[in-house]
Amino acid sequence: MRTEFDKPLVSVVMATYNGARFIREQLESIINQTYPNLEIIIVDDCSADDTVAVLNEYAAKHPNIRVYVNEVNLGYVKNFERGLQLSTADYIAPSDQDDIWLENKIEFLMGKLADNAIVYCNSAIINEEGEPTGKKLSDVKHLQTYDDCLQFVIGNTAAGHAMLVTRRTMLNSLPLPPIVLHDRWLGFVASFDNRVLFTDQPLVLYRQHSANVFGVKTKGVKKAKKRKTDKAYRNALARERIRLLYEKCPSYLPEHKSALGGLSKSYESFSLINNFNRMRLFFKYRDRILAYKNRSEWRKILFSIKMFWMIK
């Protein structure tokens, strides 16, 4: 007789912070997955509300839930990294604290993963009250299959909340740099040797509300957003991000390594030669660098020209 443990273990990894308002709905949707063999790793980053109490309540009822509370606040990326390190399965499903998963999400993605490094699904967008907006994430972002690390140079639409990731990809991605969103970094690393496969099936109810750390309209962590007017600070982050991408790119991808090296060099200053080289590289690789954007060919060209005066 076959049992639930004949199926490979999947680790659901959730990073929480002041999520008490919505977290019960998300936990219920994870507990009720049709895929039977799950461990649920939850790491709380010093919440000031009732999040930990709710988590402990669920952990007392469900032996496959393990709750960890940080002694100090690590920030979103490093908190999520700790959850990844505490996981034990060969397959990992990152989870936000405020969404709702359709009950067949894990089972469906496990059936699609095959020999890909990552598979991710579409999401149906809901509002703060959990009501459908009538839009999918694919209506506002360019969701597709990615197989080129240059497609992650300045952005990403493969959302972590919709992903199933192999353990090998996760381990190859550590440590997660705190200034690069974790899903973008995972996708970047996965594309060295494999694909980030997209399936158009909406399997997540993706909640948009005023306290989203990331969302359809947000552009990064809240702390960074508060400093949006500090151009020097934003430029310093952009320089460091592109440097990290260049250093992580393996030497067995010489074209990609060269392109990232040239971009990193061009980000160092706004000299005439750096500005020209940055624009030239964006123009040359525009279809790959801008693959995540819903833009016409003409708008990609304009974006590339604009990089003469800016870095991103």
* Contact predicate 183/94, CB 8 Å: yes
- pLDDT tens-digit series, residues 119-142: 999 999 999 998 999 999 999 999
Mean pLDDT of the chain: 93
| Residue 3 pLDDT level (bands cut at 50, 70, 90) | low
- Looking at residue 257, its pLDDT comes to 98
Show me where the domains of the chain are located. Answer: 4-207, 227-306
**Partners of 126 in the β-ladder:** 132, 207
- Looking at residue 294, its pLDDT comes to 85
- Looking at residue 215, its pLDDT comes to 56
Distance CA 62, CA 143 (A): 35
Pairing, β 118-126 against β 196-207: parallel
- Please give the single-letter amino acid code of residue 26: Q
Q: In the predicted model, what is the mean pLDDT of residues 292-305?
A: 95
Class of domain 4-207: alpha beta
- pTM of the predicted model over 0.75: yes
Percent of the chain with pLDDT over 90: 89
Q: Report whether pLDDT(100) > 60.
A: yes
- Looking at residue 79, its pLDDT comes to 97
Q: Report whether pLDDT(229) > 70.
A: no
- pLDDT tens-digit series, residues 26-52: 999 999 999 999 999 999 999 999 999
Cα–Cα separations (whole angstroms), residue 194 to 46, 112, 246: 36, 14, 18
Higher pLDDT, 135 or 226: 135
